[in-house]
Structure 1
Amino acid sequence: MGPLILNTRPKSDSQELEAALLERGYRMLSAPMLRIEFPSHADGLDLVGVQALIFTSANGVRAFAKQCDKRHYPVLCVGDATARMARQAGFADIHSADGDIEDLARLIGDQIDPAKGGLFHPAARKVAGDLGSLLKDRGFNIRRQTVYDATPSDHLPNDVITAISAHHIDAVLFFSPRTAESFVKLIERHKLEKDLVGTSAICLSSAVKDRLGVLTWHKTEVAKHPTQEYLLSALENAFA
């Protein structure tokens, strides 16, 4: 049997990841650390004067698609997974930064003329990084609107608690600082800190790693580039 991996991503973001893990021979447990909710917007989305859309997550694409049927806008995505979701939602003019928020800011600077109109950013209530600050000196008007909530989980599944207590989990995957923060709080609430010493933490970025520093891990691996494929490579490195 392959190593047992704990996936902490929201369920809506996990289909491709879980398929990739199974293909590589891993076993899986799931403990989503964020619950994604799509509230309705009675006033709609403010798209007046917008020349393009910015998506920093697949859930931003899902939320926009639920609220608006317009697909003629060019879209700029933080990474390839978000770009694939945009394509599935019906967009055609898609650009991917294949990286993090700073890569996306560079892509916007390269692809968009700020004089031609604003940029609409459908986002969560809390976001990682501030595109507006990164681009404010370039004359961009970025209009961010909350279209979904990512609420931290308030529990660990019983099978996950049992597996951690028995030291059966070989590695935990973390894709965001908020996911890591939620996990740490629940581990401390259940007094499981000492049960992770044989478990590796696999992090999408250094910012994620920083949130996990209060826990003692067997190994901590950070993806060389903030994408799922590189995170899976970091997972493989943990067992090399």
Structure 2
Amino acid sequence: MSAGAPVWITRARPGALATAERVRGLGFEALVDPLLAVEALQAELDLSHVTALAFTSANGVEAFARLSDARGVPVFAVGRATAKAAQAEGFASVSSADGDVEDLCELIAGGASGPVLWAGAREPAGDLVGMLRGRGVMAKGVAVYETLERAPSDETLARLKAPATALLHSPRAARALAAILRERPASALRFLCLSEAVAAPLRGIAEPGSVTFAPRPDESALLELLNS
């Protein structure tokens, strides 16, 4: 990909800003115009009998940290970015699955000593609580934030007539972009997705060969695709 072509960061802030910094560090122009926005919820947290916390996103960590000052409970995180967010919030014991929700379920099932509380999105991409219960782990969930779709600017959409790359971190963002492309096709746009599940909504809508997903659900692996 030409370094002169912009890289559209579609994920929600504040994560979008961190991604943009990494993209610029690789020599690309970063275009920050999220398709999603995160809003914290005023949730009731009951940590009685909870022996571990589970997080499937940095947004979940940050929203939980605003609601509670509990930092002594062990944390299970889906990946390195989420684990890093938990450490930054002051959690002392953090384990990372370095993968997806299924990997996180395996990690928790093998390491949890009692009931687990998952804190995450109102509409999660995967059912971690259900998966844990299926493995015999006592688990409950609480929504601490919600993700809302937002429309990109007309300026951003106009730039997609020329070669560009869209970075997609979630199925929700991919579905939002797919809906836009049905109305405004962008034949010069390339799509780099965090995982196969993220890429799925774009199949059949994007140009053949324009959709690629990372070999592992990790942003470093995603950004490595920029030079491919």
Coarse TM-score class (shorter-chain normalised) = over 0.9
1:22-37 equivalences in 2 (<5 Å) = 22-37=24-39
Q: For residue 231 of structure 1, what is the amino acid of its counterpart?
A: L
1:130 Cα deviation from its structure 2 partner = 1.3
Q: How many angstroms apart in 1 are the aligned matches of 2:74 and 2:154? A: 44
1:169 Cα deviation from its structure 2 partner = 4.0
Q: Is 1:182 matched with 2:176?
A: yes
The CA RMSD over aligned residues, in Å, is 1.4
Q: Is 1:160 matched with 2:156?
A: yes
1:135 Cα deviation from its structure 2 partner = 2.5
Q: How many angstroms apart in 2 are the aligned matches of 1:236 and 1:221? A: 12
Equivalent position of 2:132 in the other structure: 135
Equivalent position of 2:104 in the other structure: 104
Q: Which consecutive unaligned segments of at least 5 residues does structure 1 have?
A: none
Aligned partners of 1:221 and 1:235 also within 8 Å: no
Q: Where does structure 1 differ by over 6 angstroms across 4 or more consecutive aligned residues?
A: none
Q: How many angstroms apart in 1 are the aligned matches of 2:54 and 2:130? A: 15
Equivalent position of 1:234 in the other structure: 225
- Structure-1-length-normalised TM-score: 0.89
1:32 Cα deviation from its structure 2 partner = 0.8
Q: How many angstroms apart in 1 are the aligned matches of 2:94 and 2:224? A: 26
Q: How many angstroms apart in 1 are the aligned matches of 2:61 and 2:129? A: 19
Q: How many angstroms apart in 2 are the aligned matches of 1:216 and 1:179? A: 14
Q: How many angstroms apart in 1 are the aligned matches of 2:70 and 2:120? A: 17
- Structure-2-length-normalised TM-score: 0.93
1:35 Cα deviation from its structure 2 partner = 1.1
Q: Deviations over 1:15-51 (max 9, x none)?
A: 331111101110121221111001223xx30111100
Q: Deviations over 1:101-120 (max 9, x none)?
A: 0110111122213xxx3101
Q: Percent identity between the aligned chains?
A: 33
1:41-190 equivalences in 2 (<5 Å) = 41=43, 44-113=44-113, 117-153=114-150, 155-164=151-160, 167-188=161-182
Q: Deviations over 1:168-225 (max 9, x none)?
A: 242111111001111122333xx311xx222211011111111011423352111000
